[in-house]
Amino acid sequence: MEELTPEEVRVLGCLIEKEATTPEQYPLTLNSLVLACNQATNREPVVNYGPLAVTEALNDLRAKHLTRVLLPAHGRVTKYRQVLDESWALTSQELAVLAVMMLRGPQTLNELRTRTERYSADLADLGGVEGILERLAGRPEPLVVHIPRRPGQREDRYAHLLAGPPDLDALDAPQSASQPARNSRLDQLEEEVRLLRKDLDDMRAQLQDLLGP
């Protein structure tokens, strides 16, 4: 398995998340995907990717057969979808567990149980979260790893291996109170407004093309 970059992990995780939680808005435009990557909620760490960084990640993921491009037959907006489940033969339940770890970092069992609920994935029939983690860890190329309880923690955690083994020293390091200072909420909101306006302009142009002169 070729390791993914942090940008590729974030982009792929967002595509999985939005497919499950907002199917009416899926596949995603580039602008929508940038917004999803830069969300301040349900993300750890919070990032501030620009369109170029997301486009580069999409191109690399496509080369690895993990995403596909949907070219518009009419109009001007290209959209993107994930095909991780097809390429790696994963179930929707396995995707949900992976996506939570991809977007929020190492998780306890209780966190995974709670945070996969929004994916509408019924985990009970597959041995629960524990059963899914066992299958993901038991693949010829394991996709998750068990992290024993670290100093100052009460529970074991689990992490994905899509970007290689987790940095345990980084997991133990205290988070700065100002982190991430570079991702100020105001800057993020301004970028969201700009991208939403761009999407609106694209939709208006498509409507005009359909209606004709």
Helix (H, G, I), strand (E, B) or coil at 40: coil
List the domains of the chain with CATH numbers: 6-167 (1.10.10.10)
Per-residue pLDDT of the chain (213 residues; tens, 9 = 90+): 899 999 999 999 999 999 999 999 999 999 999 999 999 999 999 999 999 999 999 999 999 999 999 987 766 789 999 999 999 999 999 999 999 999 999 999 999 999 999 998 777 655 689 999 999 999 999 999 999 988 878 899 999 999 999 887 776 655 444 444 444 555 556 666 767 777 777 777 667 666 766
In angstroms, rounded to a whole number, what is the distance separating the alpha carbons of residues 155 and 42?
A: 20
Closest CA to 158 of 148, 170, 173: 148
Its pTM stands at: 0.80
